[in-house]
């Protein structure tokens, strides 16, 4: 895309994670990277720009409003890559995806909402393939450590043989008001999400000569994982399996299982009970409004809390008579590291030599090794722990 005004436009910089992403880009983008901030409120955008420090006082501020399609079209047509941190995405995300798919502009976001990702595939994948736009969702803790961690693990195993990978997630981090609001809205839309998932499975091509499957396990104690493990039905295993379908390196028969790790079985039981109650209460408008009132979007942990947060995802891969254990780890997953992952994803699309692909893609399929190496240089650890 020659002649565009901006390399990266960040939509949602006035939010909690959006502001951290703006600061990350200001500190890490190579000299000459043309960055702009977009949103509805110019005063708030100016406040974010002031936080970026010397050298960023002239960063362009663009008007963009999800209820003004013309403004989003102008943003998309002016950029090589657009970042969106405006959620819940199922409520506010579609107009910008539509604008980028039409303009042939690359797009990245932080969603962890399966319904939104499936709906965007159904509505814009074909158009983006035609325009050349790369629509890459889930570029934060959902789902980069899991997607690229499985990708990294597969690289350590033999080629052209059946492979099995299991991922075990541990973290001490809390979550923001925005994440909470997104979760409650997702619980309320479970039936909608199921319909979209069924329709996508019906229409999406599968590799004719390879098999890719999810592994559904049971809660059990796993010494290697470091505690009790329970299947974790987030969007992350879906993303890993889509990467496996897109990339032949995952072998002729690939299986993936995804688990949460806790030290105590009682903690898992408590989490399951709380989630079940939230899902039930989210189905009725009065109780859903009550749940949503408990935490507001824009709230997040303070710097001291974030500095104490960490995550670790351990993978056990097997195939061709070999077994390997790998690990992806980092600091605060929901904020600092998520801003890093999102920022590096956008920078990768702008600056790195990548496959000429279009449509809705996973991070492994769109950026793979170049993004993994960027994240390693940025301090996120990908390492081989052991093998036998």
List pLDDT tens digits, range 335-358. Answer: 889 999 999 999 999 999 998 899
List pLDDT tens digits, range 148-190. Answer: 999 999 999 999 999 999 999 998 876 666 677 777 877 888 8
Same domain, 246 and 344: no
Cβ density class 173-199: b for 16+ within 10 Å, e for less:
bebbbbbbbbbbbbbbbeeebeebbee
User: How many structural domains does the chain have?
Assistant: 2
Same domain, 22 and 111: yes
Integer Cα distance of 150 and 368 in angstroms: 11
CATH number of the domain bearing residue 100: 3.40.50.720
Same domain, 171 and 298: yes
* Residue 388 pLDDT > 60: no
Strand order in the sheet with 61-63: 61-63, 35-39, 6-11, 79-84, 106-109, 134-136, 359-361
Quick one: how far is CA 215 from the chain centroid?
A: 21
Q: Is residue 346 part of a domain?
A: yes
Contact at 8 Å (CB) between 232 and 260? Answer: yes
**What pLDDT, on a 0 to 100 scale, did the predictor assign at position 245?**
98
List pLDDT tens digits, range 261-288. Answer: 987 877 777 877 877 887 888 888 888 8
**What pLDDT, on a 0 to 100 scale, did the predictor assign at position 299?**
63
Q: pLDDT band at residue 129, thresholds of 50, 70 and 90? A: very high
**What pLDDT, on a 0 to 100 scale, did the predictor assign at position 197?**
95
Average pLDDT, the chain: 91
Mean predicted confidence (pLDDT) in 73-84 = 98
* Residue 16 pLDDT > 90: no
Burial of 62 from C-beta contacts in 10 A (0-12 / 13-18 / 19+) = buried
Which residue range forms the structural domain that includes residue 260? 144-332+379-387
* Residue 37 pLDDT > 60: yes
Look up the pTM and report it: 0.92
* Residue 2 pLDDT > 60: no
Distances, alpha carbon 129 to alpha carbons 103, 121, 241, 347, in Å: 11, 11, 20, 21
Q: Is residue 119 part of a domain?
A: yes
């Amino acid at each position: 895309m020659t002649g565009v005004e901006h390399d990266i436009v960040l939509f949602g910089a006035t939010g909690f994670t959006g502001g951290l992403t703006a600061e990350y880009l200001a500190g890490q983008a190579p000299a000459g990277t043309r960055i702009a901030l977009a949103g509805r409120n110019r005063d708030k955008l100016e406040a974010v720009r002031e936080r970026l420090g010397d050298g960023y006082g002239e960063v362009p501020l663009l008007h963009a409003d999800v209820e003004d399609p013309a403004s989003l079209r102008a943003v998309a047509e002016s950029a090589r890559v657009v970042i969106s941190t405006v959620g819940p995405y199922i409520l506010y995300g579609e107009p910008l995806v539509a604008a980028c798919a039409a303009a042939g502009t690359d797009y990245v976001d932080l969603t962890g909402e399966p319904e939104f990702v499936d709906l965007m595939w159904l509505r814009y994948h074909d158009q983006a393939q035609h325009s050349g736009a790369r629509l890459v969702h889930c570029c934060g803790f959902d789902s980069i450590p899991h997607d690229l961690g499985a990708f990294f693990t597969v690289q350590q195993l033999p080629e052209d043989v059946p492979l099995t990978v299991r991922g075990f997630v541990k973290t001490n981090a809390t979550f923001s008001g925005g994440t909470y609001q997104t979760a409650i809205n997702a619980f309320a839309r479970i039936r909608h999400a199921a319909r979209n998932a069924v329709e996508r499975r019906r229409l999406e091509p599968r590799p004719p000569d390879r098999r890719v499957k999810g592994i559904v396990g049971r809660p059990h104690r796993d010494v290697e994982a470091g505690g009790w493990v329970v299947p974790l039905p987030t969007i992350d295993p879906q993303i890993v399996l889509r990467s496996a379908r897109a990339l032949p390196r995952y072998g002729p028969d690939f299986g993936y299982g995804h688990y949460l790790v806790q030290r105590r079985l009682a903690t898992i039981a408590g989490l399951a009970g709380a989630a079940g109650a939230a899902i039930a209460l989210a189905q009725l408008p009065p109780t859903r409004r009550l749940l949503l009132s408990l935490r507001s979007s824009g709230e997040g942990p303070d710097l001291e809390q974030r500095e104490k947060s960490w995550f670790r995802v351990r993978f056990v891969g097997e195939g061709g008579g070999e077994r390997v254990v790998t690990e992806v780890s980092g600091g605060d997953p929901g904020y600092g590291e998520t801003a890093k992952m999102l920022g590096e994803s956008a920078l990768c699309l702008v600056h790195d030599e990548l496959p000429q692909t279009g449509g809705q893609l996973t991070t492994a399929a769109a950026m793979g090794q170049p993004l993994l190496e960027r994240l390693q240089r940025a301090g996120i650890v990908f390492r081989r722990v052991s093998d036998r």
